[in-house]
Structures are given as C-alpha cells and as structure tokens.
Amino acid sequence: MNPTPENPSLVHPVAPGAELLESAAATLRMLAEPTRLHLLWQLAQGPRTVTELVEATGAARTVVSQHLAKLRLSGLVEARKEGRHVIYSVPDGHLVRLVREVVNHTDHRLTGELTHG
C-alpha cells in the first residue's frame, strides 16, 4: 500500500549513512534536554500556546520561549499565528511517536513495569 496524507507510512526501509546518522543524533541531542523534552511531550498531545506550555511545564516564560526557538530552528516544531497568540505544534508523526515512546520506555524502567514486545 502506498502512503498518502490520510494513510502515511509509519515505517519505511532506510539504509543509514553518515549524514543520516549525524542528523538523527542532532535530533536526539535536542530531546536530551529535560525542558525541551517536556515541551515536546506537551506538543505531542496537541498544539499549544506559549502560555499553555508555561503552565504545563512550570518553566519561566523566557525559558520556554528560548527552548521553543531552538526547537523551531531545528525544524522539530512549527508555529502559526492565531490572532494575538502563537500556536506551536509538532508536524511530524515520527517525532510524536519517538517522544511518546522514550517517555513510556523510561516510565517502564523507573516503575519496573514489564516492557512490550
């Protein structure tokens, strides 16, 4: 079955070369900072405003804004204006699943819950 916007490919074969691996490592480095990971976790649940992200993370507005700027620059999040508000979102389903999986993986490790096959 060929992927379409309504039915995207969740997995596709890849032969990782040096450039792809370096780019993947750069993505993981962006996720390796707890505040950025928390922001991505929130955005994996759906689009949010800066105010909503500040409330959800407990981080200072300036800190949230700085991290969102880095995430935007790296292409991991998008922003759109809606009136006076800027709405942030994660446009890539692969990244949403990665963030959810790493948080769930860690939860299993910390709680001792059995892992899934």
Two tokens, residue 100: 């959810």
The Cβ of residue 23 has, within 10 Å, a number of other Cβ atoms equal to: 11
| Chain segment 62-81, per-residue pLDDT in tens | 999 999 999 999 999 999 99
Mean pLDDT of 7-11: 66
Hey, CA dihedral for 87, 91, 95, 99, is it positive or negative?
Answer: positive
Tokens 């596709």 — which residue?
Answer: 12
Q: Is the domain 22-111 a CATH 1.10.10.10 member?
A: yes
Order of all β-strands in the sheet with 85-89: 48-49, 85-89, 78-82
Q: How confident is the model at residue 14 (pLDDT cuts 50, 70, 90)?
A: confident
Q: Rounded mean pLDDT of the chain?
A: 91
Q: How do the domains of the chain map onto residue ranges?
A: 22-111
Between 14 and 60, the higher pLDDT residue: 60
Looking at residue 89, what DSSP letter applies? E
Amino acid identity for residue 58 in this structure: G
pLDDT of residue 8: 64
| Chain segment 30-62, per-residue pLDDT in tens | 999 999 999 999 999 999 999 999 999 999 999
pLDDT of residue 101: 93
